Structure 1
Amino acid sequence: MEKFMGPNFLLKSEVAIKLFNDFVRDMPIIDYHCHLSPKEIYENKKFKNISEAWLYGDHYKWRVMRANGVQEEYVTGDASDFDKFLAWARTVPMTIGNPLYNWTHLELQRFFGIEEILNEKSAPEIWNRVNAQLNSEGFGARDLIEKSNVKVVCTTDDPVDSLEYHLLLKESDFPVSVLPGFRPDKGLEINRDGYLEWVEKLEIASGQSINNYNEFLIALESRVRYFHSLGGRVSDHAIDSMVYLDTTMEEASSIFAKRLAGNQISMEEEKKYKTFTLTYLGGLYAELNWAMQFHINALRNNNTKMFEVLGPDTGYDAMNDQEIAKPLCQLLDALNRENKLPKTILYSLNPKDNYVIASLINSFQDGMTPGKIQFGTAWWFNDTKDGMLDQMKALSNVGLFSRFIGMLTDSRSFLSYTRHEYFRRIVCNLIGEWVENGEVPYDLELLGSIGQGIAYNNAKEYFQFQERSLLTEKI
């Protein structure tokens, strides 16, 4: 029997152990999509206790706490931070089988040197030991990033954001590149409440009057170029329902004018507006050599009662099951026909789409850029051992696993970087399994190179971010 979370955790063969320890474990991290706060990074935010570092804003934990019968007061309510931590500690033993169980203990081990199992009995001692470290030197937001051997962090930023903290970070001595990620969802959701107010904010941010659709596109482009000037090289789009409908500039302009006048537009008009705007942005991304990310098939804010109380991103989302193959193919093809298809990373929240995406990406590879169109890493509800394996096996079965750009955190927590270790162990074990089964040769030079590529090198080559020097301290 293996020791719980011991040195060979998730590594089931000698090949996997050697690949992980000798090639993959100590590779740096490029976190090309996350929800960390650039303000908190710049200020090297100190956390007053583990609840603030762990539970504030973590809807992964909130969901399972509610499922365990924890009242909202101890999840997002007014209970004390210790009582919230205690509620989480009582929940942890019930999460066996969920990656949260392993992530929780990886974070305790790697950041705080705590090997004990977290439960209600151990909670008070762990609370005190972790908090003592958090209140000492070397445990601020920047420190945690550096200890995790991160080279690049890409945050998620609205086009109307000032990016003031990215500017300050660029001028600081922080050795990690913190770059903005362009997330224009509010400019695409033309029928949502707040759209017109967002257009007004875009006017201010861009310094561009917006009286028609052409001026709207000019304003968006100016923000893309501003992000680019600060090192931004990625966009991200939450496309809950994949759409494509042929249209023209004239039609899109008419639809925009109708909405600008305060009128709602039809579903067909919305699809046309989104299609033209996405293809316009895609062409701009291609010009600037950006990577375009599509996060598809989320069903968000399902609990109306709790949405009205807590708002979005509070743990009331699920997988959507809309068909994506045809509209996604049409959109990529429209860009490709005009030689405006950028590097593209596709994620779906529904694993039914794994082979759709894995097969579709190779319809649009350009024969020049290795892995130009990527099947993105297992996302959100798929961010589990089985989910990661399903995604990687689909990719390897019909594409090039070796060109995969690997893991990202997609997290709001500075302690989430241990998920890269979790992912890397799974990658090494999968390769080791192939070797053990006689499916691939035991060629450590080749296998180690592939493992290092998936861990770091492929992303470095793919994104070509502006990297700063990196301190060598690692967790």
Structure 2
Amino acid sequence: MTEWTLHPDRALPADPATRPVAREIYETTRDLPIVSMHGHVDVTTFADDAPFPDPAQLFVVPDHYLTRMLVSQGTPLPALGVGPEGTPGLETDPRAIWRRFCAGWKHFRGTPTRYWLEHELVEIFGVTERPSAESADAIYDQIAARLAEPDFRPRALLDRFRIETLATTDPAWSDLEQHRRLAAELGSLAENVGGNGPAARAAHTAGTAAGSGSAAPGTATLPAPRVVPTFRPDPLLHLDQPAWRDDVGRLAAASGIEIGDYTTYLAALRERRRAFVAAGGSATDHGHLSADTTPLPDDVAAGLFARALAGDDVTAGEAAAFSAHMLFQMAAMSCEDGLVMQLHPGVLRNHDTERHAIFGPDKGYDIPVVTEYTHALRPVLETFGHVENFRLIAFTVDEDTYSRELAPLAGVYPALRLGAPWWFLDEPDAMRRFREATTGTAGFSNLSGFVDDTRAFCSIPARHDLARRIDAGYLARLVAEHRLDLDEAVDTAADLAYHLPKKAYPAPTP
């Protein structure tokens, strides 16, 4: 049987004129440090630094990309180990979960999940046989043996993956104690991780336009890896959520501020934001259905808040208006404390209400919806779009908005950056379309750089690698068309991979 290997030119252009150029560009970025500023790996993973329990818990159970594909082919979530304890049919044997995944390997053909999984299995764990029903047990045993080694503990993999910064996503009421402990305990990356080769030098010498500064060639080393929190207040901003009043109570307890009205509610949010800044956080994250940022008169907002806090009914329209108002308030607070505001609207959460009721949040199939930005973002951009201390990064899963709305907006308002292709769009063809739709209007400097948006820790290097290959291919085409010189393409590739995310997410001063 032929040993399973990955082609070194995977995801690079097939065109023989551009592939060598793309290969040359990619080689300058492939080993750059990873700046992962938008993700959902649990901070406990690094605070406890315990061995990953088994291959199923590492690869299958937390990865909604993977599980949703298998669900589409008739495998229920409980059979994949997904669901609260006591769920009928919940599989607890990790080897059985792994076998189901391997038996369904063919279903991932042509998807980014296939690329990420291949990278993880081959490049990280040294697997040499393609997953299948027949190979499942052997692969499981090989990965399980690796997970027992010290070099495969979470903190060791931070170094191996060359992750310079990794942002988690944390509720507004998090005590952040694990983050504080990590900041004290995580040591510096070994000097050989930073490296002194061309890629490392590119990270420190290219991208002057991105405002990153430079270091002398041959002396580049990485700073200490950092796992930083991200402030996610979504449950507190939607008055019609069933747990809203309980969550306000959690906010009050965490902030030390008794919340009895709208004014104290805002004060508690400000206090928690200050705590996130002190713990190393650099951003907030908002996953609203709509991008609307229209503010309400203060007395109207206060009245809605009072009614909801008293347990009175609030209509869906009133709740939506309050949520839009609170996005405007979050922008105003970002002008005060410097936290970057991330907005990724346009996803109908829990499309299947029955599955949501059975399996809980984020398990009811999230599906994109049409999203409007030009009018929706106007209140925030008119008010804060030229404020020096404000940064808004807007994401979308509605491709139609890239060239029509988001690129023109990012191409003029200094405060706005256009987020990377996210979720359903972080696959090769969609990422190429993103470059083609946005570069002519927004250029490269008005982008956030790549974000991986993942709960699956070991997929982080795979996702960044794919993005760097796609960018290399796009830049190679510009070189082949004589629209860029090769040195400019190399410089831009380093910006996209490393410098732009650092510039897009500056750390505020506590």
TM over 0.5: yes
- Distance, in Å, in 2 between the alignment partners of 1:93 and 1:4 is 17
C-alpha separation in 2, matches of 1:218 and 1:334: 21
Residue 436 of structure 2 is aligned to residue 393 of structure 1: yes
Give 1:98's aligned amino acid. T
Alignment of 1:405 with 2:448, yes or no, is yes
CA distance in structure 2 between the partners assigned to 1:272 and 1:293 by the alignment:
19
Size of the aligned set, in residue pairs, is 455
2:29 to 5, 20, 24: 24
CA displacement at 1:212 relative to structure 2? 0.9
Structure 2 unaligned segments of length 5 or more: list them.
Answer: 14-18, 83-89, 188-223
Specify the alignment match of 1:62 in structure 2.
67
Q: How does 1:335-350 map to 2 (within 5 A)?
A: 335-336=384-385, 339=387, 342-350=390-398
| CA distance in 2: counterparts of 1:180 and 1:313, whole angstroms | 20
Q: Which moved more, 1:423-432 or 1:46-55?
A: 46-55
Is the CA contact 2:338–2:389 (under 8 Å) kept in the aligned structure 1? no
Residue in structure 2 matched with residue 277 of structure 1 by the alignment: 326
**Does structure 1 retain, via aligned residues, the 8 Å contact 2:291–2:324?**
no
Instruction: Could you tell me which runs of 5 or more consecutive residues in structure 1 were left unpaired when the two chains were aligned.
Output: 366-371, 468-475
The alignment's C-alpha RMSD in Å is: 2.0
Number of the residue aligned with 2:200: none
Letter in 2 for 1:414: F
1:326-360 deviations in Å (ceiling 9; x for gaps)? 122233223348x4872111011222222221122
1:271 Cα deviation after fit: 3.9
* Highest RCO, 1 vs 2 (Cα 8 Å, sep ≥ 6): 1
Q: Deviations over 1:303-338 (max 9, x none)?
A: 12211110121261111124333122233223348x
Q: State whether structure 2 residue 306 is matched by structure 1 residue 305.
A: no
Whether contact under 8 Å (2:435, 2:474) holds in the other structure is no
State the match for 1:471 in structure 2.
none
Q: Is the 8 A contact 1:240 1:298 kept in 2?
A: yes
- TM-fit CA distance, 1:203: 0.9
8 Å CA contact retained: 2:356, 2:364? no
Partner-residue secondary structure (3-state), 2:227: strand
Distance 2:5 2:474 in 1: 20
Displacement of 1:98 in angstroms is 1.1
Structure 2 contact 385–416 (Cα < 8 Å) conserved = no
Moved more, 104-113 or 63-72: 63-72
1:35-434 matched pairs, under 5 angstroms: 35-75=40-80, 76=82, 77-174=90-187, 175-314=224-363, 316-336=365-385, 339=387, 342-355=390-403, 356-365=405-414, 372-417=415-460, 418-434=462-478
Deviation readout 1:56-82 (Å, 9 max, x if unpaired): 221111111112222444222225211
Distance 1:299 1:341, change over 3 A: farther
Q: C-alpha distance in 1, partners of 2:53/2:341?
A: 37
TM-score by length of 2: 0.85
Contact 2:371 2:401 in 1 (8 A): no
AA aligned to 1:380 is W
- What letter is aligned with 1:463? Y
Provide closer, same or farther for how the CA distance between residues 332 and 84 of structure 1 changes in structure 2, counting only shifts above 3 A.
Answer: same
The question of whether the paired residues in 2 share the 8 Å contact of 1:155 and 1:180 is answered with: yes
CA offset at residue 36 of structure 1?
A: 0.9
Read off the aligned partner of 1:139 and give its amino acid letter.
Answer: F
Q: Which runs of 4+ in 1 moved over 6 A?
A: none
Counterpart CA distance in 2 for 1:234 and 1:124 is 42
The one of 9, 13, 20 aligned to 1:14: 20
Q: Percent same amino acid at aligned positions?
A: 25
> Given that residues 308 and 314 in structure 2 are in contact (C-alpha distance below 8 angstroms), is that contact kept between their aligned partners in structure 1?
yes
Amino acid at match of 2:381: L
CA distance in 1, matches of 2:146, 2:364: 29
Is the 8 Å Cα contact of residues 25 and 472 (structure 2) preserved in structure 1?
yes
1:368 — aligned with what?
none
